Amino acid sequence: MRTSINQIKEMKSKSEKIAMVTAYDYSTARIIDETGIPLILVGDSLGMVVLGYESTIPVTMEDMLHHTRAVVRGTTKAMIVGDLPFMTYQISSEDALRNAGRLIQEAGAQAVKLEGGTTVVDKVRKIVDAGIPVMGHIGLTPQSINQLGGYRVQGKTAATAKKLLEDAVALEKAGAFALVLETVPTPLAALITQRIGIPTIGIGAGPGCDGQVQVINDILGSFIDFVPKHAKQYTKLYDIIKSALNDYQNEVVSGSFPTEKHSFAMDESILDDLKRSQL
């Protein structure tokens, strides 16, 4: 059985911290699922760490469906949350519901995530009313990076801090089951966590949140274009993979790979017949 939204909510009530990571492919998702991590986000961050874009903005609905399907196929226990990409929910509540439904019905996700506060509560409510769990996302919202003017901490002024608190309360009232707080001052994130009844999942928002989410490529050290301040590299796969590939190339060039161990034999009489043939 997969983790349910009720189990995630209960973790907050029991003061149990919630771990969440991103995944974008089958094999990585399988490994994550075996660890027992309860939440996997198929984030539109795939635009940067998988597809090589400068931001999440170019990511399409088809991209999200493709990668979400792969992650779903690699898991049996974790709840899979699919990101609604840029311009798939901003235009109308009807668009929001239609595309949320596609992530659930076509890709097999169990919940969707979208960015924004009070401006998207009508979309959140419509999606939730249709029976689709919604995870909110406020603070630094990457799809609005052009308007925000860069990847900056959000909520540092009295006005913006108040707005984030209002956004959090509004999203809870609209029916969101959890809320991502991205790049928000630690004290503000802790206050929001105390004020609302749904779990907060922080990324660059300090230890006061109910849980944490990280991009898998950041914590594994396989994405080296930049390392966000909020990320901790638990290993450095870039160095490990590069070393392995160098060893592979050297063995191919030297002729030491493949060996008999990595090769297949055949009946020598068949080979002899082929050699004698006129073909």
Other Cβ atoms less than 10 A from the Cβ of 259: the count is: 9
Residue reference for tokens 């608190």: 165
Residues belonging to the chain: 279
Distances (CA, A) of 150 to 55, 154, 159: 11, 11, 19
**C-beta separation of 68 from 25 below 8 A:** no
Catalytic residue among 182, 251, 260, 268: 182
**Hey, what amino acid is at 236?**
K
Q: Which helix (H) or strand (E) holds 16?
A: none
Q: How far apart, in whole angstroms, are the C-alpha atoms of residue 181 and residue 206? A: 10
Judge whether 172 counts as a catalytic residue. no
Rounded CA separation 28/33 (Å): 9
Contacts with 256 (C-beta within 8 Å, 6 or more apart), sequence order: none
Paired tokens of 3? 């983790």
Active centre residues (catalytic): 182
